[in-house]
Structures are given as structure tokens and as C-alpha cells.
Structure 1
Amino acid sequence: MNEKIKEEKEFNIILRLLAKTSMIVLFGLIFSKVVTYAFRIIIARYYGPEIYGVFLLGIMILQWFIAFSTLGLIEGILRFIPIYRGEKNKEKIKQVFKFTTTLFLFSSIFFAVFLFSFSEFISINIFHEPKLVLFLRVFSFVLPLSIFGNTFLATIKAHEKIKEYIGILNFAENTVKLLFLILFISLGLQIKGIALAYFLGIFTTFLLSYLFCKYKLPEILGKSKLPKEEKKSLNKKLLDYSLPLLFFGILAFVFYGVDSFLIAYFKTAREVGFYNAAVPIASLLTIVHALFLQLFSPIINRKYGEKDIKMVRDLSKQVVKWIFTINLPIFILIFIFPEVAINFLFGDMYLVAAPALRILAIGFIFTSVFSVANALILMIGKSKLILFDIVFAAILNIILNIILIPLPTIFFLDNSLGITGAAIATSISIIVFNLLLLFQVMYYLSIVPLKRKMITILLCSLIPIALVLYFKQFIIVNILSIISLFIFFILLYIILIFIFKGFDKRDLEIIRSLGRKLKSRVK
């Protein structure tokens, strides 16, 4: 009985930590999204859809080269360092860090030189975009800085230093990018200003994350005292886990980026720009799971290292419920009023992307809700299984995009720009990928990361949805009316969840705990 009370107490402590950390992450992500959107919106409005599309193509190519260069080892850091922290084995942590950074030194230089040397060939012969050359040449210098910055950030995250992680990645990097973009535009640097502002943002992340690791995590530096054979064994284990994730990273890039590439192939950079007005708005649905997964992943990896599967199961169910509860109203708002979101952020020139936004929102809410399944599969070391999943989903996505983008209409939907077809293809592939992960978690861990209360919460949303659709007929749709409707929706939604007992005792305990902290800070 005492053991059960102790477990429940520890579970509640972790839940409170997750909730507290999620608030920090929320603030960081909101700031990051606002600044990132401002960065993109300035480019989209000031330079127009063509340059905006070329810039995004450059970013996608950079991400592809980064995926090759990192060999999947960033995910290896995020898995093995928390496990060795659970085992209190500092020498193994040192070896993971040393081995990873040594490999990255060679791979990043090689791929940076390759990208610089072939920037003209890639830009002109493959994408027929001469303006892309400048971006790729600047991004070749970004590549090693980004790889080492991500390595230091992954190490910070693996040590559960989430505030510092958020501060560097979300605040510092994005602020520097935006401020320098504005400065360079005012100095008349034209498209050079975009590339240089991006470079300086990545350099800031590299510098700050390196300094933090050097002075706050000195135990990761230096030579490991492990015996030579044990080092070899650990290196092999790290590579066996990480190398499938190299291909996962590349294929994930194909999976999430192939729509833009194929739009560019079948259409022009202009259509890529239109499509990428919908993508960042739909990706708002990924904010919520990012709130919890920043700390959730290191915690479940540590608990898995301690063989505490029950804790992993209970945490998974609770976190999925929180993600679903918070994301549902956001999804409904985007789905009902896509034109308002696009017009407010990008301007009326991009309103043609509204149907694509509706469709992408469906795919992204699946990603958000089932993101925990992805973390659980990585936790048990089944990286090859995830590789199989992403291969299947990527092939499906490519085939569907090739079929759907050229069609003029799809189920009576206009597809003259190709972006509606791309959105349908991507959303179907996302749903299939996440269902595969869910079934695999059920098979390997006997965990169904869903709670029955989620059905209650879904039903509680139906009355607010009906009322919003009714009021929509009588109002002038603009940003103020949408905010008013959203506030009305949220209040009624929360009241109905309380009335129909959608929150369990653990939810209520967290709400009370956050309420007490908020009250004490106000005082």
C-alpha cells in the first residue's frame, strides 16, 4: 500500500513538473512562432511569393544536407544520455558526446563543401531557380554551425534543462533572425539580407549552446575513462540505434517536404509560396505536443532505464489527453475560418491556400495527438521500425503527390494551383504514418495511449461547434469577431468538460496546483 502511495506521489510530482515546464515551453513557443511568422511574413509581403518560395526551397535543401550530416546521432543523444543519467554513469555520457561530436566534425565539413560546390548545379539544373544559388552558398556556412548547435541543444535537453533550451532556441535565435532581417532590408541588401539574417540566427544558437555546455555541463567534456572495448561497444550501440534514424531524418524530410518540391517541379516557386502560407498555420497544431514532449521524452527514457513501465504507461495516457483537449479548439477554429488566419498573417494574395489549410489541419492534428506514440517507439530502441514506417509513408506521399498535384480538380475542389492535391496527399500519408505508430506501441508495449475521457471531451465540443457555425451566418468575419467567437467557444467548452466530468482527479490536481502558483505570483 505504501509503495502504491509512493508511486502515485511520484507520478503527481512528474505531472506537475510537466505542466509547469509546458507553461515555460508555451511562452517560448508562442514567442518563437510569433517571431518566426513575422520573419516569414516580412519576406512573403516585402519580396513576394516567388522569393518567399525560393527561400523555403533553400531551407528544405539545407535540412536535407543536415539530415545526411548528422547520421541520426542527435536522436541517439536524446535517448542514451537520459538512460545513462538514470544509471548515473558519467563516463558513458562523456563517450556519447565525444563520439558524436568527432563524427560531426568530419561529416559537417564534407557536406558544407559539397553544398557550396554544387549550389549552382542544384539551383539551375534541378530547380531552374538562379536566385537559389545565393541562398545555398550562404547556407553551406550555416550547415556546420547548425549541426553543432543542434548537438549542444540536444545535450542540454537530455539533461532536462528545458528553460535554457527554450531560451536559446526559441528566444535568442529567432529574435536575432528577425532583427537582422529588418536591419538588412533597411540597408537595402535585398535577398542577401534574408540569407545573412538566417546565418546570424543559427550562429547565435551555436555560440550560446556551446557556452552553456562548457560552463554548466562540464561533465560531458573531456575524455571518457571507459575501457577501450567498452567504448567500442557503446559506439556500436549508438550507431546501431542512430543510423536507421539517419534515413528516418532524410525520409522525414522527404515526407514533409516532398509536397513543396513536387509543387515546384509541376508548377513554379510562386505556388510553393502560396502553399507555404497554409503549412505554418496548420503547424500551429504541433505547438501543443511540443509543450509536453520537450520534457516528456527525457523523462520516459530515464524511467525506461529504471524499468518503470507502469509510470511510462500512465504518463503517456495523461499527456495524450492533455494534447487532445488543448488542440481540439485550435483545430476547429482553423478548420472553420482558414481565410481569416491566412489573410491576417500573409495578406489576401495568399487566400487561394484556404482549402489546402483545412485539409492540412486534419493531418497535423493526427500528428499532434499521436506524437507520444513516436516517442514511445524511440524509447524502446525500435529505430529500424520507425524507419520502415517513414519509408512506407514517404513512398505513399510521393505517389499521391505525383498523382494529385497535376489534376485540375479533385472531388469538385479546384486544384489548378496543385496545392489542394498536395495537401490531400500529405494529410493522408500523415494519418497512415501515425496509425502505424499507434498499432506498434500497442503491440510492443501493450500501451494504448488514449483515455476514454477523450470521447467525453470530443462530445463536449459539439455544442460549441454548432453555436459557432450558427453565429457565423450573422457576423462580419474579421479578426476581432473570430477572437470573440474563439473566447466564447473556449469558455463553453471548458464549462461542458467540467459538467460532464471530462477531467479526472489528476487533471483537477494539476489545475489546482497551477491555480495556487498563479495566485501566489499575483500576490
Structure 2
Amino acid sequence: MDVSLKNRFLKSYFSFSVGIWFSAIISFLSVPITSWLIEPAEYGKATMFSTIYSMILLIVLIGTPNGFMRLYHSVEEKRKLLWSSLVVPVFLSVIFFGFVLLFKDTVNIFLAGQKNSKAHLILVFAVFFGVLQTFSQTVLRMQEKGFSYSALQIVSAASNVLFVILYALLISRNFYAVLYAQLFSNILALSLGIYLHRESWFPIKIDKSLVKEILAYSYPFLLSGVVWWLFGWTDRIVLRMYSTFEEIGLYSAAFKLVSVMSLFTSGFSTFWYPFAYEQYEKNPNNKELFSKTFDYISFLILILALLIMSAKNVIFLLFAKSYRSSAYIAPFLLLQPVAITMAIVVARGIDFAKKTYWYIISDGVAAAFNIIGNLLLIPLLGAKGAAVTTGLSSIIVFAIEKAASEKLYPVKYNSKRAYVSMLILIIIASINTFFERFYVGILSSLTGIVVVTLLYNDVFRKLMKSFFEFLNRLKSMNK
């Protein structure tokens, strides 16, 4: 990777990540505030609403944002591509609106526990504006306007928290505070996004042949998305069947540790997709970009996982005492962001070849493994069994997508080094899960850091060289 491309890569990552970091901080700080304002039962209703909203939005979008990204650099008229991608999701949103009005009593009872509720109306409007907001963000991603993307994320997160507080204090401390806040923050961020970049939206143009091409490419993402959504909830469902609410609470707390790594994953994936598509369209033979990116990202995410694993007990001192045993549930959950981040790099060959049915296969196999693993391990190990299965299932996703992608778009990835490092991570996660001793966890994790660094010694040396060059530039600027 040449110097100019590397600098652009780093700048793009930072510009897209800053919004995710600040949004995560705002969201994290809002949790204790919300707990003081809204009763657990009311917050439970809001959580159910968010769960259904995310599922409906996934279905209505039918994967079209992926089609938009894939074709972005091959279609000259961007507005035509945008509205050709949007027309079907908007139409499905209208159909969903009619369906909800027809069965509004049933929907309200499911969401709010009573017929006399406005939850159904908030849901349909949230889905409609959610579709537009998703494409607003996707447009900014493809235009590589990272700071605009980040600014709108921060606006959305901050307005969400502010609206929850105002509604709870001035109107009522119920679940509507969270529902209206989600709707309001989406509309605000969407309005600002469209206004600031209105040249990307208007005038409206639609191409029927383009609509068909987008749908043909996109629909497998719906199927894989539904499978992935189910995959994400299997562990809680089986825990509820075979374990206790306390175990579910501890398991959920363990995911707080994973969210730290998710900042890295989210920031990287946000800019990597458009960046990778653009580079492929410019020069499909530049495969060294993908192999080098894989090496660097693999090393960084593995080291980050091991560092967090070594500090897990200290981090959970911030939680209430009753939650501190979650530290021994979290290690295997850290495999998930590691495997998914690595898959984000290597799976792009599937997109380039437009063979997106491979995502259905990878997610389907992983989901089946996850269900069987949870049914076998949760009765024996409780939440630890769920964590083990979730972590290993993510590695299956990586393995299948990598194998498929390499056949469709051959790249010389250092696969052996990656799999050996993953095996080391599994061994250390096992030690940190089943040996509940503070010093054992730290020593094993630090040993893993040393071994992985030795495996990636060439990458480590280049990173250190770049770091010292950066420091020297800063020193020269201050003189």
C-alpha cells in the first residue's frame, strides 16, 4: 500500500470512527440516567419495541443499501441509483403501514400490553424514517464524508438522550419517552443530512432496469440478515429455557465488554466497504491492498481482544458486585468481534462477484451450530456455555466467507497465521473462562500478546516504524 493511499485509509477510518466513539460514550452515559427516570417494566416495553423495529426495518430494506454500495462506483447518475434503491423499501414501508393499521389492536397488545396505545403509529413512522435515514448515512459513507457522517451520528445520539430526559421530566416517565426519542432523533439527523447534502437527493430519478439489478443483488442480504438476527437472539432464548434470569443478566453484562471492541469493528466496517468497492472498481488487480489490510487489521483486533481479556476483572470493578462474575463469561464473547472484523476484510470477493447467497450459507451454518451448541452447553455451563457457542459460531462465519471469497476473488491471505492466532485466542479464552483466578487470566493473556506479536512480527515492526515516523513529524511541526 503506497503512502498516499495509507494516509487516506487512516484519515477515512478516523473521520468515520469519531462519531461512533462519541455516540457510544453518550449512549453509555445515558444508561444510568434512563434507569433513574423509567421503571424496569416500562424500559422492557421500549426494548421490545426496539427489537421489533430493527427486525421490520431489516425486512423492509431487503438488503438494498448493500446493492447501492456495490453499484455506486459503476453507475454515473448517483441520484438515479439512490432513488432506484429507495423505491422498493419506501413502497414496502407503505404496505407495512397498512398492515399495522389493519391489526393495530394486536400490534399494540404485543408492544405495549394494551389496545389503547400509540405504539403502532410510532412504529410505522419510525420504520419509514428509518429507511430514509439508513440511505442518508449510506450516501455519506460512499461519498467518504466521514466527518459529516460522524457529526450526524453525534447529533442523533445526543438528541435521543435529551428527548428522553425532557419527556420523562415534563410529560410522563413511561416507555413512550424512549419511543418518541428514537423517532425524533432519526427525523432530526435525517433532516440535517438531506439539507446539508441535498444535491445528492434531488431531483428524483428512477430507472426500472436498475431497480431490478439492485434487487437481484440485494435480496440475499435480507435472508442472511434475518438468519443473523435470529443468531443474535438464540443464546438468550435458550438461556431462558434452561437457566435463570440472573444468568441472562450476567450474560448481558458480559456483552458490555464486547461493546468496547465493537467500536473498532464498527468504525472500520463503516468506511471499509465503500473504500474496498472503490479500489476494486479502479483496479481489480490490486489484491495486495486486501492482503496487507487483512494482516494489519487481524493483528490489531487480536491484540485488542487479548488486552481487554487481561483487564476484564479490573473493568468489571466498575459494575455492581453482583455482576462481577460476568468477567468469566466475557472471554469467549470477544471472539465474535475478532472473527467478524477479519471477515469484513476477506469476504469482499463475494460482493465483487455478486454471489451474495454465500452470506446465507455462512450465517445459516453458523446459526445451526449456535442453536445446537446452546442446547448442549447451556444446561451444563449456563451463560458460559452460551458464550462459548457464540464465539465459536462467529469463527465459522469467518471460515466459510473467507473460503468462498478466495475462490471468487483469489487473494494471497496469510491464512495459516490467522488461524493459528485464533487457536491461541480460543485457548486463552478457555483459561480465562474456566480458571477463575485473577493472576491466571492476566498471565495467560499477556503470554498470548507476546505469541501473537511474534507471529505478526513483520506487521508489528511496520506499525512501530509508522508510529515513530508520526511522532517525528509532530516534533518537526512544533519546532
TM-score w.r.t. length of structure 2: 0.82
Identity %: 19
- Structure 1 residue 211: deviation in Å? 1.7
Structure-1 separation of matches of 2:6 and 2:208 = 38
Query: Which residue in 2 is equivalent to 1:503?
Result: 460
- Structure 1 residue 349: deviation in Å? 4.1
- Structure 1 residue 102: deviation in Å? 2.0
- Structure 1 residue 63: deviation in Å? 0.9
Structure-1 separation of matches of 2:393 and 2:336 = 8
Query: Which residue in 1 is equivalent to 2:369?
Result: 396
- Structure 1 residue 18: deviation in Å? 0.9
Query: Which residue in 2 is equivalent to 1:320?
Result: 294
- Structure 1 residue 104: deviation in Å? 2.3
SS at match of 1:381: coil
1:439 to 390, 403, 408: 403
Contact 2:108 2:118 in 1 (8 A): no
Instruction: Give the residue type in structure 2 aligned to 1:183.
Output: L
Contact 1:152 1:213 in 2 (8 A): no
1:111 to 89, 96, 107: 96
Deviations along 1:4-55, one digit per CA (max 9) or x if unpaired, are: xxxx6xx332211111222233432221221122233444576576655543
Deviations along 1:458-483, one digit per CA (max 9) or x if unpaired, are: 9999xxx99xx9x9559xx9xxxx9x
Contact 2:343 2:397 in 1 (8 A): no
Contact 1:366 1:430 in 2 (8 A): yes
Query: Which residue in 1 is equivalent to 2:81?
Result: 96
Is residue 69 of structure 1 aligned with residue 60 of structure 2? Answer: yes
1:145 to 101, 122, 129: 129
- Structure 1 residue 145: deviation in Å? 1.0
Is residue 34 of structure 1 aligned with residue 22 of structure 2? Answer: no
- Structure 1 residue 157: deviation in Å? 1.0
SS at match of 1:250: helix
Contact 2:417 2:455 in 1 (8 A): no
Is residue 192 of structure 1 aligned with residue 176 of structure 2? Answer: yes
Contact 2:63 2:221 in 1 (8 A): yes
Query: Which residue in 1 is equivalent to 2:10?
Result: 19
SS at match of 2:72: helix
* Correspondence list, 1:180-259, <5 A: 180-187=163-170, 188-215=172-199, 217=200, 221-223=203-205, 231-259=207-235
Deviations along 1:397-424, one digit per CA (max 9) or x if unpaired, are: 234334444x1x32xxxx2xxx333323
- Structure 1 residue 501: deviation in Å? 4.9
Structure 1 142/394 Cα, relative in aligned 2: closer, same or farther at 3 Å?
Answer: same
Structure 1 450/140 Cα, relative in aligned 2: closer, same or farther at 3 Å?
Answer: farther
Structure-2 separation of matches of 1:520 and 1:453 = 38
Instruction: Give the residue type in structure 1 aligned to 2:25.
Output: V
SS at match of 2:11: helix
Structure 1 117/302 Cα, relative in aligned 2: closer, same or farther at 3 Å?
Answer: same
Structure 1 398/58 Cα, relative in aligned 2: closer, same or farther at 3 Å?
Answer: farther
Query: Which residue in 2 is equivalent to 1:335?
Result: 309
Alignment RMSD, CA only? 4.1
Contact 1:360 1:424 in 2 (8 A): yes
Structure-1 separation of matches of 2:247 and 2:104 = 22
Instruction: Give the residue type in structure 2 aligned to 1:398.
Output: I
Which segments of 5 or more consecutive residues in structure 2 lack a partner in the other structure?
A: none
Instruction: Give the residue type in structure 2 aligned to 1:74.
Output: P
Instruction: Give the residue type in structure 2 aligned to 1:25.
Output: F
- Structure 1 residue 233: deviation in Å? 3.4
2:334 to 346, 361, 376: 361
- Structure 1 residue 76: deviation in Å? 0.8
Instruction: Give the residue type in structure 2 aligned to 1:223.
Output: K
Structure-1 separation of matches of 2:114 and 2:371 = 26
Contact 1:52 1:273 in 2 (8 A): no
Is residue 156 of structure 1 aligned with residue 140 of structure 2? Answer: yes
2:273 to 291, 297, 304: 297
Structure-2 separation of matches of 1:77 and 1:269 = 42
Structure 1 51/262 Cα, relative in aligned 2: closer, same or farther at 3 Å?
Answer: farther
- Structure 1 residue 152: deviation in Å? 1.4
Q: Give the number of aligned pairs.
A: 468
SS at match of 1:370: helix
Instruction: Give the residue type in structure 2 aligned to 1:108.
Output: S
Structure 1 319/129 Cα, relative in aligned 2: closer, same or farther at 3 Å?
Answer: farther
Structure-2 separation of matches of 1:264 and 1:54 = 18
Structure 1 149/18 Cα, relative in aligned 2: closer, same or farther at 3 Å?
Answer: same
Structure-1 separation of matches of 2:29 and 2:244 = 24
Contact 2:349 2:406 in 1 (8 A): no
Structure 1 339/164 Cα, relative in aligned 2: closer, same or farther at 3 Å?
Answer: same
- Structure 1 residue 65: deviation in Å? 0.3
Query: Which residue in 1 is equivalent to 2:394?
Result: 430
Deviations along 1:263-283, one digit per CA (max 9) or x if unpaired, are: 456668776554332224213
Structure 1 443/516 Cα, relative in aligned 2: closer, same or farther at 3 Å?
Answer: same
Structure 1 69/59 Cα, relative in aligned 2: closer, same or farther at 3 Å?
Answer: same
Query: Which residue in 1 is equivalent to 2:350?
Result: 377
- Structure 1 residue 158: deviation in Å? 1.4
SS at match of 2:197: helix
Which segments of 5 or more consecutive residues in structure 1 lack a partner in the other structure?
A: 1-7, 225-230
SS at match of 1:503: helix
Deviations along 1:196-228, one digit per CA (max 9) or x if unpaired, are: 22222222222122223314x35x64336xxxx
Query: Which residue in 1 is equivalent to 2:252?
Result: 276
- Structure 1 residue 362: deviation in Å? 2.2
Query: Which residue in 2 is equivalent to 1:3?
Result: none
- Structure 1 residue 453: deviation in Å? 7.9
Instruction: Give the residue type in structure 1 aligned to 2:315.
Output: A
Instruction: Give the residue type in structure 2 aligned to 1:291.
Output: G
Query: Which residue in 2 is equivalent to 1:309?
Result: 284
Structure 1 265/457 Cα, relative in aligned 2: closer, same or farther at 3 Å?
Answer: closer
Structure 1 119/32 Cα, relative in aligned 2: closer, same or farther at 3 Å?
Answer: farther
- Structure 1 residue 298: deviation in Å? 1.5
